[in-house]
Structure 1
Amino acid sequence: MNKTELRDAVAEASGLSGADADRALNAVLDSITSALASGDKVTLPGFGTFETRDRAARQGRNPQTGESIEIAASTAPAFKPGAQLKQAVSKA
């Protein structure tokens, strides 16, 4: 499912127009992005938790040359599914 298909599903399930569903979906995604960028967690009970995780700097290897390279520390978004989501997916 891509973003357009998700927007259409939201519009159908909620009775909103496609444009209204698109604005609502964008608002939700922007809010999650903004919260993660400021270091907050976003918890949706039954669905899961969006959070950030810090990755330490480490040594890597260039697969083409075999040369050792330094991979910088970074912060990455992560998602931990909730129990209800896990259960729904495992039944599918």
Structure 2
Amino acid sequence: MRKADVVSSIAEKTGIPKVDILVALEAFFKEVKTSLVEGEPVYVRGFGSFILKKRAAKIGRNIKKNIAVEIPEHYIPAFKPAKEFVQAVKESKHKLAEHSGNEEEHD
């Protein structure tokens, strides 16, 4: 599902114009990015957390030049789903596997 599909789905369910939903969704994304850049995680109860994960310094390789390169310690954005979210996905996993299996049989 792409962002346009999400916007359409929300508009269909709520009756709110797509333009307004897109503006709100973009504002949410921008706020998450801004918060993480400032080092502050974003917690959405029942959904999950947008957090920063620390990557330790390590030695990498530049294959083209065949030299060792030091990769400094850095942070990357990550998403940690809430327990309720994980449980909902686990419970629906069998339905998704059966559904995708049925589609393959019909093709």
Q: Same fold (TM over 0.5)?
A: yes
Once the two structures are TM-superposed, the CA of residue 70 in structure 1 deviates from its matched residue by 1.4
RMSD: 1.5
Note the 1:64-75 alignment, pairs <5 A. Answer: 66-75=66-75
Once the two structures are TM-superposed, the CA of residue 72 in structure 1 deviates from its matched residue by 2.5
Once the two structures are TM-superposed, the CA of residue 79 in structure 1 deviates from its matched residue by 1.0
How many correspondences in the alignment? 92
Partner of 1:17: 17
1:58 partner letter: K
Once the two structures are TM-superposed, the CA of residue 32 in structure 1 deviates from its matched residue by 1.0
Structure 2 gaps of 5+ residues are: 93-107
Structure 1 gaps of 5+ residues are: none
Compare relative contact order (CA 8 Å, sep 6+) and give the higher one, 1 or 2. Answer: 1
Partners of 1:6 and 1:26 lie apart in 2 by: 12
Report % sequence identity. Answer: 35
Partner of 2:41: 41
Once the two structures are TM-superposed, the CA of residue 64 in structure 1 deviates from its matched residue by 5.2
Structure with max Cα Rg: 2
